[in-house]
Amino acid sequence: MSIGNSPEDERPFQDESQEPRVSVGRALQQARIAAGLTVDDVSTATRVRIAIVHAIEADDFAPCGGDVYARGHIRTLARAVHLDPAPLIVQYDAEHGGRPAPTPAAPLFEAERIRPERRGPNWTAAMVAAIVVVIGFVGFTAVKGGGSGNDAKSQVAGGGGTPAASKSASPRPTKDKPVAPSPAPSDSAIAAAPQDKVTVQVSAPNGRSWISAKDHNGRMLFDGLLNKGESKTFQDSSKINLILGDAGAIELYVNGKKIDDNFQPGQVQRLTYTKGDPVAG
């Protein structure tokens, strides 16, 4: 009869209370879905190809072309879905062998030591050249001055032109009138928008947001980030389609009238405006 532990008691205990950590790609996918964005929306805002976005969300970083590009894509996608990229980069480095070791600086210093020393400028030759130039200039001035004095004396002796005549012949300096600066176009110019078109002005006074604007044919007018303080104006014959990544940071003016919608920070809005009146379609 054995008094020791049974083989079942010696098996390693599994802690089932700890949940597996979410992968980098899965975290980006969940944040994108929570933000109400499609893969096409994220690709348009970040200019990262749709195939690469799909691959990263599936934790396949081979299409990125290397760790450096993979880290850059992770940062860009994280910011587009309102996620902090720092923990994702740390997790990526931990799962892919960490960052590469920095290049040692010793060979650089050794290369500096073997470089030939630069020689200083030859000040003696420079001084000699300057003295020669000064002497030549003084001699030329003296000869020219003597010749002009003789010419003046000969003109007076021969009854040449009087000093008054010479003064009247000399041209008078004219003052150019300053050119008045052209006035800069004001933001209120949108109020004079033509009635047969739809005019939309998008400004970001409260922060930055990525936006996408298309005309009635689906042609892309603009897609990218609108930084704080910047504004964009779009015009079409019948319709403007907008996507606002962070609507809380945006102010809209349609056909000269401000749109007083209570957009929330971080809210994604898809809007359509026509030339009739400023009402979202």
Residue predicted with more confidence, 166 or 271 = 271
- The mean predicted confidence, pLDDT, of the chain is 76
Q: For the segment 260-269, what is each residue's pLDDT rounded down to a tens digit? A: 777 878 778 8
All domains of the chain in start order, with CATH: 22-95 (1.10.260.40), 188-274 (2.60.40)
3-state secondary structure 24-42: HHHHHHHHHHHCCCCHHHH
Burial 34-68 (b: 16+ CB within 10 A, else e): ebebeeebbbbbbebeeebbebbbeeebeebeebe
Share of the chain above pLDDT 90, in %: 31
Each residue of 106-116: pLDDT tens digit? Answer: 444 444 444 55
Terminal-to-terminal C-alpha distance of the chain: 84
Residues pairing with 241 in the sheet:
214, 272
Is pLDDT above 70 for 42? yes
Q: Is 50 exceeded by the pLDDT of residue 145?
A: yes
Q: Give the model confidence (pLDDT) of 114-123 as tens digits.
A: 455 566 667 7
Enumerate the β-bridge partners of residue 271: 242
**Least confident stretch, 34-38, 73-77, 126-130:** 126-130
pLDDT at 154: 45
